[in-house]
Structure 1
Amino acid sequence: MKIAEVELRRVRLPLKAPFRTSFGSQSERDILLIQVTSDDGTRGWGECVALSAPLYSSEYVDGAHRVTRDFLLPRLWMLPDVTAYGLEAALTPISGHRMAKAGLEMAVLDAELRTRGTSLGEHLGAVKARVPSGVSVGIAESIPALLDVVAGHLDEGYSRIKLKIEPGWDIEPVSAVRERFGDILLQVDANAAYTMADATLLAKLDAFDLLLLEQPLPEEDIRGHAALATQLQTPICLDESITSARAAADAIAIGACKVVNIKSGRVGGLLEARRVHDVCAAHGVPVWCGGMLETGIGRAANMALAALPNFLLPGDTSASDRFWRRDLVTQPFVLRDGHVDVPTGPGLGVEMDEAWLDEVTVSKECHAAESL
């Protein structure tokens, strides 16, 4: 496949309600979308999940835009025949910038699979037609407000609740949710907000029979997570720390986690995400699919990934209307009986709502080999 043109498009999409975590509150998403067009006119879409500021990771959307334009695209043009695997190899010399690489890889993979008439799920090795859907609940203004939000999501049919926590907002809200809603599937996500000095506090979470405690310590503190794991009954899950299949293997080897959250953007793309899945499966470590407030483009990729066999826990694979009043795809993802369907069409299996996309577009630039 040859790529004739790449479009870098920035869209600004308002969230239905502000979403607050330990690294800030968001009321809208500034999103970098990548569209590749092959020489036969086949289009593929990718979504970069970098946030507006480098708080979840060192990447941020303005930086990802520049890296894609100035460093990734020139390597794309050098390829005589473009495939997702070939692109991955070509981008390896660029250090870091995994979210930027993942966005471009997704677009190329979408176009490549559309050309072949193959769905992303089939390509990755999906074994499920639909995946159980959990929902992530941000830090609320009060416990009564939190209980109302959780009640609403349970009424909608979500099969698992994840609560964001931070120092000062942890034991009490978790206790309130467990007391109010009984034996629901419940887990918590700290987004690296704690240190080993908080071990005694975090051990109090053992009383609530949680599925897991996600990323309590900083990203680099793998040894700290291993030490903390010996002091808790609640399984530790790693998110930010898992940046590759090798990182997953190292963390598992020293006992730093019993569960892994896989986000394709965080590890550099869907191909590496599948490797993380395979490493974890080989070691008997279950995985689940995390979310980054994706539109229907990234959400389609998440559904296909979450349909792999070792995704044994409900992921943050919520319906489109969890975050968006209007998604960017023509057929938004819908929750049915606690599950969301995996797309079966070629590539990502979704089509863009072109009119709405144009309405929320902030900027657009097109690049071809001759222009770089």
Structure 2
Amino acid sequence: MEIKEVVLRHLKMKLKFDFTTSFGTFREKEFILLEAKDEQGRSGWGESVAFMSPWYNEETLKTNWHLLEDFLIPEVLRTNIEHPDEINKMFSAIRKNNMAKSTIEGAIWDLYSQRTGQSLASALGGTKKQIEVGISIGIQEKVEDLLKIIEQAVNDGYKRIKVKIKPGWDIEVLREIRKHFPTIPLMADANSAYRLNDIHRLKALDEFHLTMVEQPLASDDIIDHATLQRQIETPVCLDESIHSCEDARKAIELGSCKVINIKIGRVGGLTEAKRIHDLCADKGIPVWCGGMLEAGIGRTHNVALTTLTNFTMPGDTAASSRYWVKDIIKPEVTVENGLITVPDRPGIGYDIDIEAVNEYTFFEKSYR
């Protein structure tokens, strides 16, 4: 496979609502959309999940653009690629910058699955025809507002509710949720808002029978998480701490977690995400697919990845209409009773809504 042209587009899409976590509030999403064109005229699509500010990790939209333009795209344009797995090794000399790497690798996976006449899910080795999904709810101004959102999500059939927590918005909020929804699958995501000396508050989470608490401690930690997991019953799920299969191996051996959240962008692409999935399956650690407020392209990649067998917990891939007035794919990702039906067409299985892409794009550049 020869990549003849790569197009980078800077898009801005407004969210339907403010999305607040322990590290900031999002009212719109700016991101890079990448189109890779092969010698046969096909286009594969990838989406960067990096934010404008380095809140989640050190990467931003601007650093991703720089890495793609100056390092990753030139490497891809001069290399004949037989299989997308080669991208992981091709970029190994470039340290970190996983979200930038994932952006172009995702487009190559899309192209490869089109060229081989199979869905992206099948190309990855996925077998599920439908996947279970949950919903992620940001911090609200009032608990009453949160309860209304949860009630709507439960009525819509979502299989799991995730709520964001931070010191001062945790124990009392979760207690109120459990009072109204005593049996729903419920998890809490801290986005590294706590430290080990907050262990008394984290132990209190055991009262609520959560499916997990996600990344309670520092974003680069696996040592203190192991200490914490030994002292609480609630399963610890690692997110920001896991950037590679090697990170996952060490965390599992240390006992730092009982669950791992796999985000394609965070780990550098679908190939590394598969490796982490396979390791966790071998070690008996369940995984699920986290979300980064993706638009349609990133959302379709999450759907495909979740068809692998060890994704046994509902992920964050809610319907497109949950976040966007109009998404950039046709049809949009829809959820019925907490389930997404996996498309079986070659590639990502959705059409690109070029009119919407053009509407949201305010800068683009082509590389040959």
Length-normalised TM-score, structure 1:
0.97
CA contact (8 A) 1:134 1:162 kept: yes
**Which residue of 2 is the match for residue 275 of structure 1?**
275
Partner in structure 2 of residue 87 of structure 1: 87
Amino acid at match of 1:323: Y
Matching residue of 2:326: 326
What SS class does the counterpart of residue 351 from structure 2 fall into? coil
> Deviations along 1:120-159, whole A, 9 cap, x unmatched?
1111111211111100000000111111111111122111
Per the alignment, residue 167 of structure 2 pairs with 167
Deviations 1:170-190 (A, max 9, x none): 001111111111200000000
Helix, strand or coil for the counterpart of 2:352? coil
Aligned twin of 1:257? 257
1:290 partner amino acid: G
Corresponding residue SS for 1:96: coil
Quick one: distance in 1 between partners of 2:80 and 2:158?
46
Cα-to-partner distance string for 1:88-117 (whole Å, 9 max, x where unaligned): 221110111000000100011111211111
Partner in structure 2 of residue 215 of structure 1: 215
Code of the residue aligned with 2:259 in structure 1: it is V
In structure 1, the partner of 2:360 is 360
Tell me the distance in 2 between the aligned counterparts of 1:120 and 1:311.
16
CA distance in 1, matches of 2:121, 2:144: 40
Are residues 1:57 and 2:63 paired? no
Task: Indicate the SS of the match to 1:168.
Answer: coil
| CA–CA separation in structure 1 for the residues paired with 2:59 and 2:111 | 25
Partner of residue 118, structure 1: 118
Q: What does residue 130 of structure 1 align with?
A: 130
Q: Counterpart amino acid of 2:243? A: T
Correspondence for 1:224:
224
C-alpha displacement of 1:85? 2.0
Partner of 2:292: 292
**Long gaps (5+) in structure 1:** none
Contact 2:88 2:272 in 1 (8 A): no
Paired with 1:80 and 1:304, the residues of 2 have a C-alpha distance of 25
Residue in structure 1 matched with residue 71 of structure 2 by the alignment: 71
The 3 A distance-change label for structure 1 pair 81 and 182 is closer
Report the equivalent of 1:105: 105
> Aligned with 2:277: secondary structure?
helix
Deviation at 1:83, TM superposition (A): 3.5
Question: What residue number does 1:317 align with?
Answer: 317
Say whether the 8 Å CA contact 1:157–1:338 is kept in structure 2: yes
Provide the residue aligned with 1:149 in structure 2: 149
AA of the residue aligned to 2:27: S
State the distance in 2 between where 1:265 and 1:160 align.
22
Q: Could you tell me which amino acid in structure 1 is paired with residue 317 of structure 2?
A: T
Q: Percent identity?
A: 43
Measure the CA separation in 2 of the matches of 1:108 and 1:15. 28
The equivalent of 1:184 in structure 2 is 184
Q: In 1, distance between residues paired with 2:326 and 2:288? A: 26
Shift of 1:78: 2.6
> What secondary structure sits across from 1:285 in the alignment?
coil
- Quote how far apart the aligned CAs of 1:59 are: 0.5
Corresponding residue of 2:266:
266
Cα shift readout 1:46-65 (whole Å, capped 9, x = no counterpart): 00111111010111111101
Q: For the residues of structure 2 that align with 1:229 and 1:347, how far apart are their CA atoms? A: 40
The Cα RMSD (Å) is 0.9
Structure 2: segments with no counterpart, 5+ residues: none
Q: Is the 8 A contact 1:76 1:82 kept in 2?
A: no
Distance 1:305 1:245 in 2: 16
TM superposition score normalised by structure 2 = 0.98
Counterparts of 2:40 and 2:88 in 1: how far apart (Å)?
22
Alpha-carbon separation, structure 1, partners of 2:356 and 2:157:
28
CA distance in 2, matches of 1:337, 1:85: 35
Confirm or deny: 8 A CA contact 1:302 1:317 kept in the other structure.
yes
Amino acid at match of 1:132: E
Instruction: Give the superposition deviation at 1:231.
Output: 1.1
Structure 2 distance, partners of 1:140, 1:226, is 30
Distance 2:292 2:220 in 1: 20
Aligned partners of 1:81, 1:294: CA distance in 2, in Å?
A: 27
Q: Secondary structure at the match of 1:282?
A: helix
Residue 344 of structure 1: aligned partner:
344
For residues 16 and 313 of structure 1, what CA distance do their matches in structure 2 show?
A: 26
Q: 1:11 — aligned with what?
A: 11
Aligned partners of 1:220, 1:295: CA distance in 2, in Å? 27
Distance in 2 separating the partners of 1:342 and 1:195: 39
1:244-288 deviation line (CA, Å, top 9, x unaligned): 111001000010000000001100000100000000010000001
> Structure 1: how far apart are the matches of 2:82 and 2:67?
19
Paired residues, number: 368
Q: Are the aligned partners of 1:300 and 1:343 in contact in 2 as well (CA < 8 Å)?
A: no
Once residues 307 and 81 of structure 1 are traced to their aligned partners in structure 2, the CA distance between those partners, rounded to angstroms, is: 25
Contact 2:129 2:341 in 1 (8 A): yes
The 1-side partners of 2:57 and 2:163 are apart by 20
